[in-house]
Structure 1
C-alpha cells in the first residue's frame, strides 16, 4: 500500500469508489463533515463534483481533518486544498474524516466536449450550446460531460440520489450515455427531501422526471429556449412517489392528485428559500399540473437568482 504523508493529510491510493448502500431512512444534511468544494457548501456524508481531466477542484475543510484519496494529486494553497483530477475520464473518490464525522466525495472526471465542433460523443447526440445568457458564469458552455455508462447508473452521488436518476431520456439503451450534474443541485435536493420528511411526506428520494437534457434533446421535445437549466445539470423536474404508482403522492391530503400537490411542494421550497439553510443556492421553482403525458410535478434549479413562474 502506498501512502503519502503530509502535515495535514494522509492520502491513500487504495480507497475504493463509493457504491450504493442499503438504507431505510433519508440522511440529513448535517451528518457529515462541513466542507466547501468548488464553492458548494455541504455537510452531507456524501457529495459529488465534476472536473475536467487535470483540472483543480478547490476544497476548504477543517484544518485538522484527515483525507484519503483513490487518485489525483493533492496540494495546499493558503486555506484551501487543491485536488487535481486524474488525466483520464472516470471516477475518483476521497474520504474526509474529522472528529468522528466522515464525508465521501466523488470526483467525476469529465469526457471532453468541444462545443461547435463536436455534435455527438461516441454516437450520443449532444447538439449545440448557445452563447452564455447575459454572459453569466452559470450559463458557461460545458467543456465536458459525465460518462454515465463508465460509472454505473447505481452510483450514489449523494446520500439519497443515484447518478442514473439524472440521465437524459434520449436514445434509450445507447452506450455510452453522457450527462451533467452539479453539486449545488444535489445539496438543494437533499435539503428539500429532508424537509419533506420532517413535514410528514415520507420519501426516500424524489422521482426525477427530467434531469439533464442535451441541447439536441431539449429542442427535439419542442423547447425553444436555449438557456434551460436542464442543459447545465442543475435543474430537476421532481415529485414524491413513495407508493411507486408512477405519479405524485397526495401531499395536501384532499384525496386527489392534482396541481395543488405540486404547489404544496413549491410552498415548502419557498419556506426553505426564506430560511437559507447551509449550502442553499437560490434558483427557480414552479408547480406544473397534469397532462396526457405526465402527472403533476415541480421544477427546481440552482440558477443563482430567484425565479418563479
Structure 2
C-alpha cells in the first residue's frame, strides 16, 4: 500500500514538473452515464431536454449552484435542469463552499437533425449518414442534433485542456459550422493526457489532427463508411511539444520522427488500458505512418469495443 502511494505521488510530481495541470477539483458530478471531476466540463443536449445530474458529495454538505435557468433539487443529491427550447450554450457553476472548489458546466443545446435538408444545414454541408446502422448498433444511428459553432465560440473550454475549435471538421466553409461530439471522448482525451504526462512524456494537449467529420467530408477523403469520427466519438491525435513544428515529437528518442513514435504512444495507451480506470474508455486504437500530407499519428475512439489496427 505504501509503495503504491509512493508511485502515485511520484507520478503527480512528474506531471507537475512538466507544467501540466489536469484541472481537477475535490468533488465530481455524474450525468448521462459519465462522471467528471474537472473544473470545466461540457454536455450536449436536445432542446427542452430534462438534464439530470448528481453531485457526488454527502447530502449534508452545502452546495451552491448558479447560472442560467432554474435548477430543481431532487432526492439523493440529484438535480434537474431543463434545457432551453432553442439552440445555444448555457452555463451552470457548481461550488463547494467548504473548499472553494467549483465546476463550470457548459450545456450546449443542439440544432435538431430534422433541420438538415438535402444534406445541408444552414448552408453547411453535412451529407448523408449510412441508411443502416453498422451491426444494428444504436451508436451508428444518425445523430439527433448538431452543435452550431459561431466564430466567437472557438475558444470555449470544453474541458480544462481542450477547446471547441480543436474538434471542428476540416472541410472548408464559412461560419456557422456544425459539430457532433460525445462527452466520453472529451473525458478519454483528458484521461490520456494526464496519464501520458505521468508516464514521463510531456504534453499540454494532444494536437487533434481530425476530430468530427461530416459524412460529406468523410466520403470526400475516402474514409470508412462507418468511421466513428462522423458520430463525434473519435480523434486522430499526436504530440507536438518540443519542438512545436506541426508534427509528432520524437517520443522514442531515436533521432527521427516516424511511425515508431506513433507506436510508442500507442504502446503507452495499451498499458493504461490494462487498468480499471480505463474500462469506461474502451474503444479503437490505430497507428498511422507519415505521408506527404501529415506526420505519424494515432487514432483513438470510444466505440465501447476493443479494436486495434
TM-score, normalization: structure 2?
A: 0.86
After superposition, residues 77-96 of structure 1 pair within 5 angstroms as: 77-79=74-76, 80-96=78-94
**Distance in 2 between the 1:285 and 1:210 partners?**
14
Q: Which position in structure 2 is the counterpart of 1:164?
A: 165
Gaps of at least 5 residues in structure 1 are: 1-23
How far off its partner does 1:26 sit? 3.0
On the 8 A contact 1:113/1:144 being kept in 2, the answer is yes
Residues 69 and 94, structure 1, Cα contact 8 Å, conserved in 2: yes
Deviation of residue 284 (structure 1)? 0.7
CA distance in 2, matches of 1:135, 1:222: 23
- Cα RMSD of the aligned pairs, angstroms, is 2.0
Q: CA deviation at 1:292?
A: 1.1
Higher helix share: 2
Residues in 2 aligned to 1:259 and 1:90: alpha-carbon distance in whole angstroms? 41
Query: Scaled by the length of structure 1, what TM-score is found?
Result: 0.86
Counterparts of 2:84 and 2:64 in 1: how far apart (Å)? 17
Q: How many residues align?
A: 284
SS in structure 2 of the partner of residue 34 of structure 1: strand
Structure 2: gaps of 5 or more residues: 1-17
Corresponding residue number in structure 2 for 1:148: 149
CA displacement 1:10-58 (0-9 Å, x = unmatched): xxxxxxxxxxxxxx94332643521212111211111111001101222
When residues 115 and 158 of structure 1 are mapped into structure 2, their CA distance, relative to the original with a 3 A threshold, is same
- Cα distance in 2 between the residues matched to 1:71 and 1:279: 34
Per-residue deviation at 1:72?
A: 3.3
1:42 aligns with 2:36: yes
1:264 and 2:261 correspond: no
How far 1:65 sits from its partner (Å)? 5.4
User: Which whole-Å CA distance do the structure 2 matches of 1:233 and 1:65 have between them?
Assistant: 36
Q: How far has the Cα of 1:226 moved from its partner?
A: 2.5
Match of 1:5 in 2: none
